[in-house]
Amino acid sequence: MPAPSPRNGSSPPRRRYSLIVIGSGISGLFVALEARKLGPVLVLTKGSIDDCNTRWAQGGIAAAVGPLDSPLQHLSDTIAAGDGLVDEEAARVLCEEAPARIRDLVQYGVSFDSLGGEVALGREAAHSHSRILHAGGDRTGAEIETALSSAVRDPQIPVLDHTLATALTVEGGRVTGVEAIALETGAYEHYEADYVVLGTGGAGQLFSHTTNPEVATGDGISLAFDAGAEIADIEFYQFHPTALRLEGVPTFLISEAVRGEGAILRNHAGEAFMARYHPLRELAPRDVVARAIVAEMRAEDVDFQFLDCTGLRSVDLAVRFPGIHAFCISVGIDMRTQPIPVAPAAHYLMGGVRTDIWGRTTLPGLFACGETACTGVHGANRLASNSLMETVVFGKRVVEHIASGKGGAAKISSARTPLSLGGTAPASHGQLQELMWRSAGIERDAGSMRTGLDTIASWKPPAETTTRPAFERMQMAKLATLMLHAALTRTESRGGHYRNDYPGRDDIHWRRQQVWVRE
């Protein structure tokens, strides 16, 4: 069968590259653009170039660029939000290099919103200053993705759409390339590279309620685990407090920036309840707000609460949040005059493929950045709008390290736990999502997690894995098993990991990462 054709019209792909990037979100495209000076670069993406979490990011991108702000204050907020597990070195890199990466994005064509000739800075939960830059109001992710995908239309960077990476090839303990299937033809392909970079995004599709698009199935993490790389902090999943919850309507993110402008959470009795849960009220850390909404829903025996924007008079909601306003109007809600029904949804994975501050994994030749990676910068709970910045800060460092010629793998000391994962898969995607929502959702306990593990173990191996849905189900079942093992082992509550049977934080035993590796 013929090899897949590159999307941007360049010549057919060669078989060996300096760099192969898997994923076409900000992290993947930014790495590809920065690395083209190093030699031939290939981008593989299982959907189209526009299918990624980046495009759905509404809130913005965090950088200490305001006159009263500083990287040190940004660092302090990042560490506080991470609930005792932030890697301070990685967080310092993020906060100190953030302003320069904003300048890089501007050079690639991103136009950030301004007010009176100055960049407009918003406020989000757990930030002590207004330091959130937006582009296109609430379309920040889409604006950045559009700018980078336009810049990557370069014959030097072939992009193979609808090409599913199925394995990393490892020779002599080093990653040397990628096995892939061209989904439109069914052809198996093998591409060799000096380096492979994973930028495949998160895993929100593990859960029945998620703000993530359908491509977010955690492929990169499962690929890295299968190849022998270390995985860390996989139990920490952030559930965004405010996603639209309306029967018959897809889950839709209502950005934290809406609360940053002053929107109030109310229960069905009309009470503004957040003061009872945290002094920062609506701008408390996300895990606190999400659990508060769950507690209010349980008390009233309902499946949503309300986000009330009707009292906001200082901002034109249709202009400030054009995407959210338009979507709400399309489903019969005018956020200017009606409260929005909301409930938490799976949003962001803090853990992933373990890397150092240069994006190196524990396998030579393999790098990772963005939500796929675990640099330790988010700890147990990500600070709002640090995610988009993480992709470009550590994407830049990946390329800088490769250009330096130093090579090698990450050398990070800590105990690691070997784990063998089966090759089972659910009969349907929805079956896995419902199981994980019950077993590893916002509130967890030993009984439900053990039930989840037993259920996954009872599934049969897939009859075939040559289609994208079948392959994704198998990879997600592996990742779900890994997440449940990690969550069951961590007998405390911290950040995005909350256990009803261990509701307290245990710094004596658990102020540390859990690291997992293939047995």
Give me the active site residues, please.
Answer: 286
How far apart are the C-alpha atoms of 277 and 291, rounded to whole Å?
A: 9
Nearest-angstrom CA–CA distance, 186 and 300: 51
Closest CA to 517 of 104, 277, 315, 224: 224
Residue 401 in contact with residue 359, Cβ under 8 Å?
yes
Strand (E) or helix (H) holding 43: strand 41-44
Nearest to 57 by CA among 259, 340, 315, 257: 257
257 residue type, one letter? A
DSSP 8-state assignment for residue 281: G
| Partners of 133 in the β-ladder | 61, 121
Partners of 369 in beta bridges: none
CB of 339 closer than 8 Å to CB of 307: yes
Would you give the DSSP letter of residue 37?
G
What is the number of H-type helices and E-type strands within the chain?
Answer: 14, 22
- Order of all β-strands in the sheet with 61-62: 61-62, 132-133, 121-122
Backbone angles phi, psi at 401, to 5 degrees: -70, -40
Amino acid at 84: G
- In the block, tokens 């100190």 appear at 96
Residues forming beta bridges with residue 439, ordered by sequence position: none
For residue 390, how many C-alpha atoms fall within 13 Å in the half-sphere facing its CB?
Answer: 31
List the one residue out of 222, 224, 200 whose CA is nearest residue 212: 200
Which residues, 6 or more positions from 250, have their beta carbon under 8 angstroms from its beta carbon? Answer: none
Structure tokens that stand for 292 in this block: 């508060």
- What are the backbone angles phi and psi of residue 142, rounded to the nearest 5°? -65, -40
Quickly tell me which residue has 């895993």 as its tokens.
203
With contact defined as beta carbons under 8 Å apart, do 395 and 27 qualify?
yes
Going 42 to 45 to 49 to 52, the CA torsion angle's sign is negative
- What is the pairing mode between strands 352-354 and 373-374? parallel
Give the largest Cα separation in the chain, rounded: 64
Q: Do the beta carbons of residue 25 and residue 199 sit within 8 Å?
A: yes
